[in-house]
Structure 1
Amino acid sequence: MSSHARGILLLVLVTAVWGSTFAVVKEAGETLAPSVLIAWRFTLASLALLPVLALTPRRSAAPRLAPGPARPLWRDGLILGAWLIAGYGTQTVALQTTGANRAAFFTALSVVLVPVWLTLVQGRRMSLTLWVALPLAVLGLGLLSWEGGAFVVGDAWALACAVTYAGFIVALEGAAPRHHPLPFTFVQVLAVTLLAWVWAALSAPGQLWPPQSAWGPLLYLGVAATALTTLMQTVGQRSVSAAEASLIYALEPVTATLFSFLLIGERVGWRGAVGGALVVVATVLSQRSGTPQPELPAPRGEAGVPEV
């Protein structure tokens, strides 16, 4: 198998694992408070990444691909971690009251919202493809909501997840070139862990230890869906172009729908299928304009390929 084919296979597996997390989080959320779920998920991810970090050769200096003064690793990691916990937190809360497949498509709107963030923050102009993608995404989400009945509070939380995750992507674009990917990834994951434990201690002080039935989903979310996918994504994108990777990542809500059916029996009717297809098309269009979708905090270089 060629390195390119192996890279594509790894990214397909990453996308499939990402898609499965919606159903797993929804099920785990029935026994765990959102803050506790996120705290344990990222604690396990931090522990899983530690040996990889320890075995990685140290670099003498950080890359200087971005203009401006150097910034401490911990500072950028904490800022990105705050954006991440906002995204993961709103998504986890959303899954308590909305369907896993609907939440996946709503979350996919983050890719289309990134240009809006850039327009507001950096004054960039939106391309024609993005002007087409935005109404397509809104129409698709409307069809998804129509099929699922009345707009529920979980849908609002899922939209909040899309907005906050778009903010994370924009912040990552500016910070990633300043640091080596693996240490930067670890600091972000560790920041989410610390912030989540503060949240859990304040919101669910008597529910911090998970029941025995929750450990399986937590290990899957922490080790496989967070730590392992970060490493697979880093290796996979060494031999796969950013354009190819973005098309693969656009399939995440599709895989989420498949796993939601297989794991928890959620179904999608024709309106939901059309709406989901429109969201995927909008996602592809937005990514074709050059805006990446890093689902996990794996910093990339200017061409979209990780620098490890």
Structure 2
Amino acid sequence: MTPHTRGLLLLILVTAVWGSTFAVVKELGALLDPAELIAWRFTVAAVALLPVLALSRRRAPVSPRPPRRDLWRDGLLIGAWLVAGYGTQTIALQTTSANRAAFFTALSVVLVPVWLVFAQRRRMPAALWVALPLAVLGLGLLSWEGGAFVAGDAWALACAVTYAAFIIALEQVAPRHAALPFTFAQLIVVAVLAWAWALVQGGVTVPPAAAWGPLLYLGVIATAATTLMQTVGQKTVTAAEASLIYALEPVTATLFSFLLIGERVGLRGALGGALVVVATVLSQRADAAPHPELPAPQPGTEDLTG
């Protein structure tokens, strides 16, 4: 197996795992409130990633470069956007279906190039003019099939907006840091902010026994492990190939929602979902050019541990 093929398979696996989380979070939401669910998930993820980070640092050659002082500052910025994204998504899943939330959330990929068009004051690419109405039409068909527009749909749209902001912010600051330390900083920040959120809401409870299996899956597999697989996979896969694979996340979410919790998609929903996927792919084509406002990777930041 070539490194490129292995990278493609890893990213496909990552996308499948991401798709499965919608059904898992929806079911887990019946046992934990959103703040506690996110707090426990990211605490488990940080604990799972800690030995990997320690082992990587032990094996890495001694670097003359001191650790960057802005690691935790940037981690706080990205972690805050992540809390907003995961929080709105978790709240959305309390009142809307998992497959519907997945397609609504996928709108974030379309929003990124739209935001950059306004930020850079440049002409909107033709592909984006096509992608936007397709995405709106697709979401309309999804809503039409699922009945009236519910509060969860609004929260899912909010998730798309906050996750688009996360993507843009991450692209600005990620080149400054090695992958594993920066990922660990983000996990810690999200966990701390989520615990603070839970305390403000009225306190923290110990999850019931039925919640620990899903929490371990979300923390270890869907957060810590996927981060490592994505880091390894994208070393040999182009950004264009990766974006096409990631566009399939709502499709895998629909599949797992059917297999795990029995959610079904009718003809209108399937057509709407297909339009969202097409819009996502088109928006990536529109965003193919480099972003002049984003920094180039600095020498030495392409390693995992710094």
Fold similarity call, TM over 0.5? yes
Alignment check: 8 A CA contact 2:23 2:257 kept: yes
Q: Which residue matches 2:258?
A: 261
Inter-partner Cα distance in structure 2 for 1:183 and 1:124: 35
The residue identity in structure 2 corresponding to 1:47 is V
Inter-partner Cα distance in structure 2 for 1:27 and 1:254: 19
Q: Which residue matches 1:51?
A: 51
2:145 is equivalent to residue 127 of structure 1: no
Structure 1's 283 and 301: CA in aligned 2 closer, same or farther, altered over 3 A? farther
SS of residue in 1 equivalent to 2:207: coil
Alignment check: 8 A CA contact 2:113 2:287 kept: no
The residue identity in structure 1 corresponding to 2:74 is D
Alignment check: 8 A CA contact 1:101 1:257 kept: yes
By how many angstroms is 1:61 displaced?
3.0
Matches within 5 A, 1:198-277: 198-205=196-203, 207-277=204-274
Alignment check: 8 A CA contact 2:131 2:278 kept: yes
Q: Which residue matches 1:76?
A: 74
Alignment check: 8 A CA contact 1:73 1:179 kept: yes
Structure 1's 181 and 60: CA in aligned 2 closer, same or farther, altered over 3 A? farther
Inter-partner Cα distance in structure 2 for 1:212 and 1:128: 52
Identity of aligned residues (%): 74
SS of residue in 2 equivalent to 1:266: coil
Structure 1's 177 and 103: CA in aligned 2 closer, same or farther, altered over 3 A? same
Deviations 1:156-175 (A, max 9, x none): 00000000000001111111
Q: Which residue matches 2:292?
A: none
Inter-partner Cα distance in structure 1 for 2:286 and 2:66: 29
Inter-partner Cα distance in structure 1 for 2:171 and 2:15: 21
By how many angstroms is 1:71 displaced?
6.4
Alignment check: 8 A CA contact 1:42 1:193 kept: yes
4+ runs of 1 displaced by more than 4 Å?
none
2:65 is equivalent to residue 61 of structure 1: yes
SS of residue in 2 equivalent to 1:268: coil
Structure 1's 301 and 232: CA in aligned 2 closer, same or farther, altered over 3 A? farther
Matches within 5 A, 1:260-299: 260-290=257-287
Alignment check: 8 A CA contact 1:62 1:180 kept: no
Give 5+ residue unaligned stretches, structure 2.
Answer: 290-295
Q: Which residue matches 2:31?
A: 31
The count of residues paired between Structure 1 and Structure 2 equals: 292
Inter-partner Cα distance in structure 1 for 2:247 and 2:77: 26
The residue identity in structure 1 corresponding to 2:275 is L
Q: Which residue matches 1:67?
A: none
Inter-partner Cα distance in structure 2 for 1:125 and 1:188: 34
The residue identity in structure 1 corresponding to 2:48 is A
By how many angstroms is 1:301 displaced?
5.3
Q: Which residue matches 1:189?
A: 187
SS of residue in 2 equivalent to 1:61: coil
Structure 1's 126 and 8: CA in aligned 2 closer, same or farther, altered over 3 A? same
Structure 1's 269 and 59: CA in aligned 2 closer, same or farther, altered over 3 A? farther
By how many angstroms is 1:273 displaced?
0.3
Q: Which residue matches 1:8?
A: 8
SS of residue in 2 equivalent to 1:155: helix
Inter-partner Cα distance in structure 2 for 1:215 and 1:97: 23
Alignment check: 8 A CA contact 1:238 1:306 kept: no
Alignment check: 8 A CA contact 2:178 2:302 kept: no
Inter-partner Cα distance in structure 1 for 2:287 and 2:303: 19
Inter-partner Cα distance in structure 1 for 2:137 and 2:302: 34
Alignment check: 8 A CA contact 1:237 1:306 kept: no
By how many angstroms is 1:188 displaced?
0.8
SS of residue in 2 equivalent to 1:32: coil
Deviations 1:77-111 (A, max 9, x none): 10000000000000000000000000000000000
Inter-partner Cα distance in structure 2 for 1:150 and 1:306: 47
Give 5+ residue unaligned stretches, structure 1.
Answer: 64-69, 293-299
Deviations 1:5-32 (A, max 9, x none): 1111111110000000000000000010
2:110 is equivalent to residue 108 of structure 1: no
Deviations 1:180-206 (A, max 9, x none): 11111111111101000000111141x
Q: Which residue matches 1:167?
A: 165
SS of residue in 1 equivalent to 2:211: helix
The residue identity in structure 1 corresponding to 2:266 is G
Structure 1's 210 and 286: CA in aligned 2 closer, same or farther, altered over 3 A? same
Deviations 1:212-236 (A, max 9, x none): 1000000000000000000001111
Alignment check: 8 A CA contact 1:200 1:208 kept: no
